[in-house]
Structure 1
Amino acid sequence: MKQLLIIGIGAGDPEYLTVQAINAMNRADVFFLLDKGASKQPLLQLRRDILQRYVTHDRYRLVEADSPERVREGDYAGQVHDLNRAKQQVFERLIDRELQDGQCGAFLVWGDPSLYDSTLRILDAIQSAGRLDFDYQVIPGITSVQALAARHKVPLNAIGQSVQITTGRRLAEGFPANADSVVVMLDAQDTYRQLDDPELEIYWGAYVGTENEILRSGRLVEVGEDIQRTRREARQTHGWIMDTYLLRRTPKDS
């Protein structure tokens, strides 16, 4: 049977890789790398650098394929469904044609496969379709959420309080009523600028763990404009941006 490893490689710093992830990479015969275009080449190169740094044998192959792009028309859920269906076709072709029975293939997933990543959903759909016979194992990684908190040297939660992880699209509906701390991912619209609560603090980071890392923090009403400007300039400079932020009300005790 074919074996697959879905390996979380952390949020940017090669030293974020766990010992389990390194051991898993050394089991793989084939690594599947999805190319997301010229602007995302640094992410692809990081994967190559990680393999060169940690894999101790030269028996593996790299198989690259173009990653489908999301068509930004229609409703968001429909866009994501169509994107995942297109990725499923790519995954099926790679597993079928590039991996022999008894071999082990690997996908290197940015951050952790369980958080805002569709790889596991896609593999589950492939298995449910029944056209390919394979088994897979998931190797967890350090998420951008963990890395962000570590770089800012802050806990995610106040004592005994809750944390909610959400998206910019959901935050646009309002700050969650029952959450004291909110981690926001996938915010392309600077949604934090819509909030004017003077008690909110923000801990923002872009390219966390990489040589291009940018960090900003403070009361949202005081630093929000600077973060928006910094974010815009960084996108123009690098051609892409990957950022995350923590919003929390000023704790009365900690």
Structure 2
Amino acid sequence: MIELCLIGIGTGNPQHMTLQAIEALNAQDLILIPNKGAGKDDLAGLRRALCTRAIQGDGPKIVEFALPVRDEATKSYRKRVDDWHDAIAEIWWQNITENLPAGGKAGFLVWGDPSLYDSTMRIAERLKKLAEIKLTVIPGITSVQALTAAHAIPINEIGAPFTITTGRRLRENGWPDSADTLVIMLDGDCSFQCIEAQGVEIFWTAYAGMENQISVAGPLADVTDQIIETRAKARAEHGWIMDIYLLRRR
């Protein structure tokens, strides 16, 4: 049997690692670390650094694998994502069977929390079709928590709902009717430019919770250009960027 453990590691800050996550890391026989290629390989390095800090003694075997690139040119968005997940599952299985031929415990370090806009659990479900697999999930601190902590703000107004959505949906569908507070994730296009800025505040953070965290906040109409410029500069400097923001109507 393969025991597969998905370990939420927070947003790159070693202090975000829970005691449960540290214990789970030390219990694995194999840790698989994805590498997204040139310009993003320091994400793999951050995962390795977390392992070095958290694992005691010899610890599990650590194997790095190349993450396949998602096809962005053809098919519907959902089809592209499904095909990409299929390809990732194949690579997972290849690495697990090569390194644990007699079975054992394999762990994946999941950025943030495995439940929030992350596909690791969906990919793991594909492996259940190939073999008997026991799946364990260790929760982690999310970028949403790191965002609100960075700005020292509550996520919701008193008794009011909030909505977590993506930049793509904000661009395509506009501001949803579900709430006056939105948290926007997975936005590579600064989609806050697509909404009416008047009366909206934005709380934006890149590299939330990490040493190089950057935050900008204020009326959307006043800070839009500042965020776009800051984001572009940070991405050029690091080769990658992870950012998240909260929008609130006043």
| TM bracket (short chain) | over 0.9
Q: Alignment identity in percent? A: 45
Could you say which residue in structure 2 is the equivalent of 1:88? Answer: 89
Could you say which residue in structure 2 is the equivalent of 1:30? Answer: 30
Note if contact 2:148-2:155 (Cα within 8 Å) is conserved in structure 1.
yes
Once the two structures are superposed, the pairs formed by residues 60-71 of structure 1 within 5 Å of their partners are 60-71=60-71
- State how far apart, in whole Å, the 1-side matches of 2:60 and 2:12 are: 23
Note if contact 1:203-1:245 (Cα within 8 Å) is conserved in structure 2.
yes
Note if contact 1:96-1:132 (Cα within 8 Å) is conserved in structure 2.
no
Shift of 1:196: 2.1
Note if contact 1:2-1:100 (Cα within 8 Å) is conserved in structure 2.
no
Amino acid paired to 1:47: R
Once the two structures are superposed, the pairs formed by residues 29-108 of structure 1 within 5 Å of their partners are 29-74=29-74, 75-108=76-109
Note if contact 2:26-2:59 (Cα within 8 Å) is conserved in structure 1.
no
Once the two structures are superposed, the pairs formed by residues 217-228 of structure 1 within 5 Å of their partners are 217-228=217-228
Note if contact 1:183-1:247 (Cα within 8 Å) is conserved in structure 2.
yes
> After superposition, what is the alpha-carbon deviation per residue over 1:140-199, rounded to whole angstroms, capped at 9, x for unaligned?
000101100011100000011111110000001211112111100111111101222422
- State how far apart, in whole Å, the 2-side matches of 1:151 and 1:59 are: 33
Could you say which residue in structure 1 is the equivalent of 2:154? Answer: 155
Amino acid paired to 2:188: A
Could you say which residue in structure 1 is the equivalent of 2:138? Answer: 139
Note if contact 2:5-2:136 (Cα within 8 Å) is conserved in structure 1.
yes
Could you say which residue in structure 1 is the equivalent of 2:236? Answer: 236
Corresponding residue SS for 1:26: helix
Could you say which residue in structure 1 is the equivalent of 2:213? Answer: 213
- State how far apart, in whole Å, the 2-side matches of 1:148 and 1:185 are: 11
Segments of 5+ residues of structure 1 without an aligned counterpart are none
Could you say which residue in structure 1 is the equivalent of 2:5? Answer: 5
- State how far apart, in whole Å, the 2-side matches of 1:138 and 1:123 are: 11
Corresponding residue SS for 1:226: helix
Amino acid paired to 1:79: R
How well do the aligned residues superpose, as a CA RMSD in angstroms?
A: 1.2
Corresponding residue SS for 1:137: strand
- State how far apart, in whole Å, the 2-side matches of 1:247 and 1:100 are: 49
Corresponding residue SS for 1:69: coil
- State how far apart, in whole Å, the 2-side matches of 1:136 and 1:100 are: 18
Segments of 5+ residues of structure 2 without an aligned counterpart are none
Shift of 1:59: 3.6
Could you say which residue in structure 2 is the equivalent of 1:118? Answer: 119
Amino acid paired to 2:204: W
Amino acid paired to 1:209: G
Amino acid paired to 2:164: I
Shift of 1:95: 2.1
Shift of 1:70: 0.8
Shift of 1:100: 4.1
Note if contact 2:162-2:178 (Cα within 8 Å) is conserved in structure 1.
no
Amino acid paired to 1:154: I
Shift of 1:123: 1.0
Corresponding residue SS for 1:157: coil
- State how far apart, in whole Å, the 1-side matches of 2:49 and 2:239 are: 21
TM-score, normalization: structure 1?
0.94
Amino acid paired to 2:155: L
> After superposition, what is the alpha-carbon deviation per residue over 1:88-125, rounded to whole angstroms, capped at 9, x for unaligned?
11111122221244521100011111111111001112
